[in-house]
A and B are shown apart, each in its own frame.
Chain A
Amino acid sequence: MSTITRRQALGAAAGVTAALATAGAAQAIPVSQVSPVTPAPASPATPASADAPEPFDEVYRGRRIQGGASHDGGHGDGHHAGHGGGYSVRIDGEELHVMQNADGTWISVVNHYEPLATPRATARAAVVELQGADLVPLTLS
């Protein structure tokens, strides 16, 4: 287990608040504790992909994470359309399947049930979850 500071573990993803529970936890690095945004009842049914998030490119805990508009629509590996709104995320060059929720939050295939505020936060959460493992391309049935 690498030792990192809380500040490093949490990063600085906007809108992400941390509630740490480190006592004896098997993975003592909670990525984040996100209270899902409760959207107004009139929230749009279509993700706000018009407001594409900022691109990013950084090394996080030894992994290169990148995000930005995808030239192939983000589904170059036979993925279905529409999930990322044309925004794709990569970890060490391998695509991380991401999806934007209707309230603007994001999930990925390795953190599917816990929405985070931004694709960068989702990529960082995936790095923590992977514990050094490589992503593998998925083939859908």
Chain B
Amino acid sequence: MTVRKNQALLTADEKRRFVDALLALKRSGAYDAFVTTHNGFIMSDTDGGPRVGHRSPSFLPWHRRFLIEFEQALQSVDPSVSLPYWDWTADRTAASSLWAADFLGGTGRARDGQVMDGPFSAASGAWPITVRVDGRGYLRRALGANGVQLPTRAEVDSVLAIPAYDAPPWNSASDGFRNHLEGWRGVNLHNRVHVWVGGQMATGVSPNDPVFWLHHAFVDRLWIEWGERHPDSPYLPAIGTADVVDLRGTMRPWDDVTPADMLDHTPHYTYDAAA
């Protein structure tokens, strides 16, 4: 059974195996296919048109399915690997062990944002950025450099307290839990973390940075927490709504999975108890 653990509690061996599996997917080309898929949805999901991966109710089930697929790809390399999660309410600075050279490496240098240490640095030669929006082929970050702070636990709790899953108009203007978690409205949780990391994480090709998966694993875990607090609050919309995926609508690109299929994560993985 796959157990997703807090990244701060991983052993040196677990970190090494996770990194090695990432590098293997990168070498095979499988990794970049995930980046391409994500960017395609980032660019095509619109508030006034069809929207599946972002700015819509299916933001959470879509990313759940996306992460399951990615986790399975990692496990095809090393069955012992699972996706760790990054609790950014607790590990809030560039000094966190997450950003150490034995795990994800640190922030970028001032001159060009280039990450200079760790397994994903350009110097390592193992992490070319090929799916990109500009000419730069190296991983970039600017941790905390935009003047933003990572969300606090109190801010997270304020969002978890929202009882309705989502609301019309089912987009970036919506009230409700999903849009507050996604961050287009209110205290801004998920979006703000992308901005805090900077570099490719602030762009449509954000999965170029391996922290993407750890960030979204924590967002996924928050969805579970919300469900525990609001056991009677269903996924919305329940029935056909223009341009968005209702409870039993299929989600692109898989076309064989619905939000209803994704409500229970336990057939696929569980999370450790450490929050």
Contacts and interface: CB of A to CB of B under 8 A. Distances in A.
B43 interface: yes
A106 B43 CA distance: 13
Contacts of A19: 147
B133 A113 contact: no
A137 to B, nearest CB: 9
Contact of B186 (A38, A112, A140): A38
Nearest to B188: A36
A102 B133 contact: no
B147 A114 contact: no
B20 to A, nearest CB: 27
Nearest to A99: B46
A100 B12 CA distance: 44
A46 B39 CA distance: 22
Interface in B171-195: 171-173, 175, 183-186, 188, 191-192, 194-195
Contact of A45 (B48, B133, B148): B48
A39 to B, nearest CB: 5
A43 B195 contact: no
B111 A83 contact: no
Contact of B47 (A33, A45, A111, A112): A45
Interface string A78-119: 011111000000000000010111110000011111110000
Contacts of A4: none
Given A82-B48, A102-B169, A111 B112 contact: no
A14 interface: no
Interface in B139-197: 141-148, 168-173, 175, 183-186, 188, 191-192, 194-195
Count class of interface residues, chain A: 35 or more
A4 to B, nearest CB: 14
B49 A82 contact: yes
Contact of A33 (B108, B134, B148, B203): B148
B63 to A, nearest CB: 14
Contact of A135 (B48, B134, B186): B134
Given A111-B202, A114-B191, A134-B135, A1 B110 contact: yes
A52 B184 CA distance: 22
Contact of A110 (B134, B142, B145, B194): B134
A108 to B, nearest CB: 9
B159 to A, nearest CB: 14
23 contacts: A20-B147, A21-B147, A25-B142, A25-B144, A25-B146, A26-B142, A26-B145, A26-B198, A33-B148, A38-B185, A83-B46, A102-B173, A110-B202, A110-B203, A111-B203, A112-B42, A112-B194, A112-B206, A113-B194, A113-B195, A129-B202, A133-B136, A140-B40
Given A28-B145, A109-B133, A140-B40, 12 more contacts: A26-B107, A45-B170, A82-B48, A101-B47, A110-B202, A112-B42, A130-B134, A131-B112, A135-B134, A136-B132, A138-B43, A141-B33
